[in-house]
């Protein structure tokens, strides 16, 4: 390495460290989002980067910082009330940088004993908070999608001992899994990937509060059995993606036990509530799950991607993912497991280091404060919306708020018009949803308190923008 390269590298690091240190203040001054011309952006990048000459690292760092600062949606903005993408804790950023520098390989325990044991320790502490037995399996994953996929595969291996070897051809009847219109679509996608097909996904109706209709589940299971199908799994969601609602987990678990269904709880976002004494009761019944999905890269505010998969049947996990590979180092002999034989991934980075460092630096107490701050802002947002004449339409104590306005319901103003007004101005970022399925569902605007740095003042800006948007759309319609 030449001296010049070292200077460049040092300059690049200094630039990055300055950005990291100043980011929370800086991002709050930026627009949350700026309109982008897709074809212009692609053309510009193609012209700029032809990879035919070297670019000094400090210059390159500046260029990427500039692109990312101006052309991405700023999900770490305190007024990004968006899709569960959090503002990240400093400990998590540090951990990811550290992991990149040393690049530990966690596929086999013996290659990274320290990293593997820190992950095991962290997962064990979080599993205990979920109320799962101490001997449960747990692993870090890229995200909730991988964790939900793991649940499907382990549930299949548990129910059908012939499946890991014989595949679908070894099954006597067609397996089916029960979800609702509010379940995350990674379950349906997972059924495609596992070869079950989308037809294996049975959609259970909702109650008039948008909750899982447990009585309807029992009826559907009976009807499907008599049709020759084989019900094997039900998915309850603890914090739906659209509305942040929690399905009746205890009731679902009772039906699952009676009907011999694998009970998976998808708590990708809502799982964090178990860390708060005030909110834990919202997730009552999660401790009865056969498996749980929980994303640290949502409400635990660590950088992407950090999913977690928990399962009380370690034997089924072993059966689902076991494989022989002569070139892999042999097991350590101690009671350790090699992640490559118990998880979907092979090469494995230390995803869990950022969760460990966040948890260890805050403590459970610090996390509870963070989570309760966001929940309290959610309550305030509901109150402020109601006071301003808007109507909250979802049912949850968690900080996802779906709302509409009489002007939108009676057709005087258009919901998409209001949303676009907000997004054009770039002071806040929210989204829209349809609760209860696309057909005949309730259209609503949706705001989540996803940044632990959001404050009351940010909520006031949001209400101001909504009111301005509503008036502007009313005026342009008249």
What is the contact surface with ligand PLP in residues (CB under 6 A)? 84, 143-145, 148, 184, 186, 237, 241, 266, 268-269, 295, 307
At closest approach, how far in Å is the CB of 270 from ligand PLP? 7
Q: Which is nearer to ligand PLP, 186 or 253 (CB)?
A: 186
Q: Which is nearer to ligand PLP, 426 or 436 (CB)?
A: 436
Q: Which is nearer to ligand PLP, 247 or 465 (CB)?
A: 247
Q: Which is nearer to ligand PLP, 12 or 275 (CB)?
A: 275
At closest approach, how far in Å is the CB of 237 from ligand PLP? 5
At closest approach, how far in Å is the CB of 241 from ligand PLP? 4
At closest approach, how far in Å is the CB of 147 from ligand PLP? 7
At closest approach, how far in Å is the CB of 129 from ligand PLP? 18
At closest approach, how far in Å is the CB of 298 from ligand PLP? 6
Q: Which is nearer to ligand PLP, 186 or 404 (CB)?
A: 186
Q: Which is nearer to ligand PLP, 144 or 339 (CB)?
A: 144
At closest approach, how far in Å is the CB of 292 from ligand PLP? 11
The CA-atom distances, in angstroms, between 70 and each of 31, 76, 139, 346 are 9, 14, 36, 36
At closest approach, how far in Å is the CB of 148 from ligand PLP? 6
Q: Which is nearer to ligand PLP, 397 or 425 (CB)?
A: 397
Q: Which is nearer to ligand PLP, 186 or 276 (CB)?
A: 186
Q: Evaluate whether 131 touches 124 at the Cβ level (below 8 Å).
A: no
Residue nearest to ligand PLP (CB): 144
């Amino acid at each position: 390495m030449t001296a010049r390269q070292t200077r460049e590298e040092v300059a690049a690091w200094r630039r990055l460290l300055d950005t990291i240190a100043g980011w929370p203040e800086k991002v709050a001054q930026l627009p949350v989002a700026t309109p982008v011309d897709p074809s212009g952006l692609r053309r510009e990048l193609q012209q700029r980067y032809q990879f035919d000459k070297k670019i000094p690292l400090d210059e390159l760092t500046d260029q990427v910082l500039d692109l990312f600062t101006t052309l991405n949606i700023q999900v770490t903005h305190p007024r990004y009330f968006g899709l569960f993408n959090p503002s990240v804790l400093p400990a998590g950023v540090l951990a990811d940088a550290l992991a990149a520098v040393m690049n530990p390989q966690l596929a086999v325990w013996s290659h990274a004993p320290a990293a593997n044991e820190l992950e095991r320790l962290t997962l064990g502490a979080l599993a205990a908070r979920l109320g799962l037995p101490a001997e449960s399996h747990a692993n870090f994953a890229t995200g909730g999608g991988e964790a939900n996929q793991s649940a499907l595969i382990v549930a299949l291996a548990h129910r059908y001992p012939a499946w890991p070897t014989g595949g679908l051809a070894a099954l006597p009847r067609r397996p089916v899994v029960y979800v609702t219109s509010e379940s995350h679509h990674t379950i349906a996608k997972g059924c495609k990937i596992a070869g079950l097909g989308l037809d294996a996904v049975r959609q259970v109706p909702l109650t008039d509060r948008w909750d899982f209709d447990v009585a309807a589940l029992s009826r559907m299971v009976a009807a499907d059995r008599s049709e020759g199908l084989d019900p094997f799994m039900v998915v309850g969601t603890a914090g739906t993606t659209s509305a942040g609602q929690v399905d009746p987990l205890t009731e679902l678990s009772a039906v699952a036990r009676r009907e011999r269904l694998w009970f998976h709880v998808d708590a990708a976002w809502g799982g964090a509530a178990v860390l708060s004494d005030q909110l834990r009761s919202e997730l009552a019944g999660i401790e009865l799950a056969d498996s749980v999905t929980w994303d640290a890269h949502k409400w635990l505010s660590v950088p992407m991607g950090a999913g977690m998969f928990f399962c009380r049947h370690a034997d089924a996990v072993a059966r689902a993912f076991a494989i022989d590979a002569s070139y892999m180092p042999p097991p350590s002999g101690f009671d350790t497991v090699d992640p490559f034989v118990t998880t979907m991934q092979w090469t494995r980075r230390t995803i869990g280091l950022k969760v460990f460092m966040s948890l260890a630096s805050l403590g459970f107490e610090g996390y509870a404060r963070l989570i309760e701050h966001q929940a309290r802002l959610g309550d305030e947002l509901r109150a402020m919306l109601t006071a301003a004449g808007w109507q909250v339409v979802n049912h949850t104590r968690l900080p996802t708020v779906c709302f509409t306005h009489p002007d939108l319901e009676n057709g005087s103003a258009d919901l998409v018009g209001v949303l676009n007004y907000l997004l054009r101005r770039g002071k806040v970022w929210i989204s829209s949803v349809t609760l209860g399925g696309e057909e005949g569902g309730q259209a609503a605007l949706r705001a989540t308190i996803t940044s632990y740095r959001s404050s009351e003042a940010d909520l006031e800006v949001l209400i101001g923008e909504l009111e301005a948007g509503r008036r502007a759309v009313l005026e342009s319609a008249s």
